[in-house]
Chains A and B, each alone.
Chain A
Amino acid sequence: MLTEVAPGDERAPHRARIAGVGRTLPPTRLTTAELMRSTRYRTRIDLERLTGIRERRVATEHDSLGLAVGAARDCLARSGRRAADVELLVSCSITKYRDGTVHWLEPTTAAAVAREIGADRAVTFDIANACAGTLTGVLVANNWVRRGEVRCALVVSGERISGLATNAARHVRSIASRELASLTLGDAGGAVLVERAGEGEPGIALAGFTTVAAHSRLCLAAPARREPGARMSTRARAIHRVAIADTPVLLREALDAAGLAVGDVDHVIPHQTSARAIRTGMREVTAALGAAPREPPVVTVDRYGNTASTTHVVALVEELDAGRLRAGDRVALVALASGLEIGFVIFTVDPRLEACRAVRA
């Protein structure tokens, strides 16, 4: 697993902290019952029972860029930073829609976000790493901040990805369909501000990732051939099996690298695919590691569905706003994505991050 060197190493002398988070949630809600009523075929699938997803948000007025820009502005406002402070801006979404479903490959979404928010001096580029994109961006930002290359980095993602569900609703015939997972998707924007930690601030203890590429073809998405937008083929059960088998091994490696035990973690925020998969996965991790984090895993998939690369940020904002993340709490963000990408960002909430929720309250 690729991880950062331990704090104090002269090659990466600084510590980075999560300085702010922000999100955009489109106001329009689509219930699972409504979505399943829209399927072309009579599927007899109880998707809500299978996944725990009651509803998701769908963007009717925002595209991917608008969702990312909204989240970036929310993040800056909550953290009290100006766009001019941002020296690195990375956009990490799978979807790059502007003007409806026009997918932009060039110029980058990051440059467009920087322009919209006024981050004129930021280095900009896009990262693509499926649903692990945002945490991959945090990994890179952590590296740049720790080495002193930048002091302030903004990682953004806007996912207008519910169009895959619209397309899947025309094709899913049964529970065995490889497009079933597309029906879990929802729209959201997310942004994370990573900056150099102040003296004594705990910050990010570990960011680590690996790619189990033997399973790289379990989930593939590309523009649809005869429909607007894209389609995705997922072998969800196979992915779940690999995740159950590999995550404990890698989590143990990550915790060892950070000098932590699983009991030192207060909150786990996994990638949000299905409530049932999250709870099963956590039971397996607990059994394999012989201990559990202090709190049950955070679940937001019931309200927002799988918002792809923004799930962790959507959940972080939810937990901060609800007052469930307090200064001193240690949080483990767990990425699981097509590739197969497995990664972790473990950090401690500091008083300044806890106060981020006060902006909206």
Chain B
Amino acid sequence: MPSVLESIAVVAGGRWRRSARRLAGVAARRALRQAGLRPDDVDLLVDAGLYHDRLLGEPALAALIQEDIGANPEDPHPGGHGTFSFDVANGACGMLTGLRVADGFLQAGSIDHALVVASDADPGHGMAPAFPFAPVGAALVCGRRAGTGGIAGFRFATGSPAGPTPTATVAFDGRCNRLTVTRPPGADAAAGALAGEVASGLLAEHDLTPGDLDLVAANPLSAGFLGVLADRLGLPPDRVGRPRDGRPAHTAGLAVALQEAAPGLHLGGRTVLLVSGGAGPTAAAALVLP
């Protein structure tokens, strides 16, 4: 029984722009409403965001979001249902990582519904004076259904670290702990090349070619990444996404691209490639079949 994407929500900036937790919570509530589900229906909540409020290290941000949205927060009791929440971290590939983890439990029949969220915002407290990412939160509701179609497979790879790659570190500068994010020239192109390789491999596993794709949603939405990805897939650049000016979304970028390419997640029987590339370099791809 394959996993399916049931709904998507993206929340950009607005009055929640200073809190990754709130951005994810608002997106989660919207996605659940669109899927016709109650918070208590969520069996698994995976957060794939990186830049949390105050760069909280413990507990998992997912647990705070679970409480915020009211997904089975109460103490366990006979007949209770329960929600399990935790975080994954894999940079720009985080949302696909969360989706793959959720897909595993859905396919095994351990759960009926999963909520994968991702959000980033300036952590505040003066920790990141030049925070480079836009405040964006996103949520994907996943379920499973009988028959064919849905998420057909994943492919991930970690490449050689020899080339340029983004980094994000927190270190004490003598006065306070500061977040430093670097995005060296050529890093997006290196990630794009690996993402192209991973996506091509995934398509080949399913006897498909890039020409069979109806829709591609890619992250990050930078010209460097999208240009090399399109080149490696042999597709026109406008088929893999539109580069953004200014501060890009980070871990939620894949949902931004998917929402734009298929508003409301109306995939309409299309073959969809979700693909990301980021620090490491690491690349991830998922194939969704009609």
Seen from chain A, the residues whose Cβ lies within 8 Å of a Cβ on chain B are: 1-5, 9, 11-12, 94-95, 101-108, 111, 114-115, 120, 122-133, 136, 140, 143-144, 146-147, 149, 209-214, 216-217, 219-230, 232, 242, 245-246, 249-250, 253, 337-341, 343
Contact = CB atoms under 8 A, between A and B. Distances in A.
Contact of B172 (A9, A214, A222, A228): A228
B279 interface: yes
Interface string B74-92: 1111100011111111110
A181 B44 CA distance: 29
A105 B177 contact: no
A208 to B, nearest CB: 9
24 contacts: A2-B84, A2-B110, A104-B167, A104-B169, A105-B51, A105-B55, A106-B166, A108-B90, A108-B280, A120-B158, A125-B88, A125-B93, A127-B89, A128-B89, A130-B58, A140-B101, A212-B75, A212-B76, A213-B66, A213-B72, A214-B73, A223-B170, A226-B176, A229-B172
B1 interface: yes
Given A102-B171, A125-B90, A130 B60 contact: yes
A82 B171 CA distance: 34
Contact of A127 (B59, B83, B87): B87
Q: Say what secondary structure dominates the interface of chain B.
A: mixed
Contacts of B60: 128-130, 339, 341
Contact of A216 (B64, B72, B89, B104): B64
Contact of B75 (A123, A246, A343): A246
Given A9-B109, A125-B97, A210 B82 contact: yes
Interface string B47-79: 000110011111110111011000111111110
Given A4-B110, A105-B170, A106-B167, A211 B85 contact: yes
A147 B67 CA distance: 31
Contacts of A149: 104
B168 interface: yes
**Most B-side CB within 10 Å, residue of A94, A149, A210:** A210
Contact of B58 (A108, A114, A219, A229): A219
B63 A216 contact: yes
* 7 tightest Cβ-Cβ pairs between the two chains A and B: A338-B59, A228-B172, A339-B63, A107-B279, A213-B67, A129-B86, A213-B66
Interface size class of B (residues with CB under 8 A): 35 or more
A143 to B, nearest CB: 5
B145 interface: no
Contacts of A133: 86
Contacts of B82: 1-2, 210-211
Contacts of B71: 213
A361 B182 CA distance: 46
B165 interface: yes
A211 B176 CA distance: 33
A218 to B, nearest CB: 9
Contacts of A104: 167-169
B171 A11 contact: no
B239 interface: no
A316 B171 CA distance: 33
B58 A211 contact: no
**Most A-side CB within 10 Å, residue of B74, B84, B91, B157:** B84
Contact of B125 (A140, A225, A232, A249): A225
Nearest to B87: A128
B76 A210 contact: yes
A76 B179 CA distance: 35
Contact of A5 (B43, B64, B109, B157): B109
Contacts of A214: 67, 73-75
B278 A339 contact: no
Contacts of A222: 54-57
Nearest to B44: A2
A11 B280 contact: no
B177 A108 contact: no
A211 B84 contact: yes
Given A105-B55, A125-B156, A213-B64, 5 more contacts: A123-B157, A211-B45, A216-B63, A223-B177, A226-B175
Given A11-B109, A130-B60, A228-B177, A140 B104 contact: yes
Contacts of A242: 75
A292 B40 CA distance: 33
Contacts of A108: 89-91, 279-280, 282
B259 to A, nearest CB: 24
Contacts of A253: 76
Contacts of B204: none
Contacts of B16: none
Contacts of B67: 213-214, 216-217
B37 interface: no
B121 to A, nearest CB: 14
A136 B125 CA distance: 31
Given A103-B169, A125-B88, A225-B125, A339 B59 contact: yes
B235 interface: no
A264 to B, nearest CB: 22
A143 B75 contact: no
Contact of A147 (B44, B55, B107, B172): B107
B85 A107 contact: no
Nearest to A242: B75
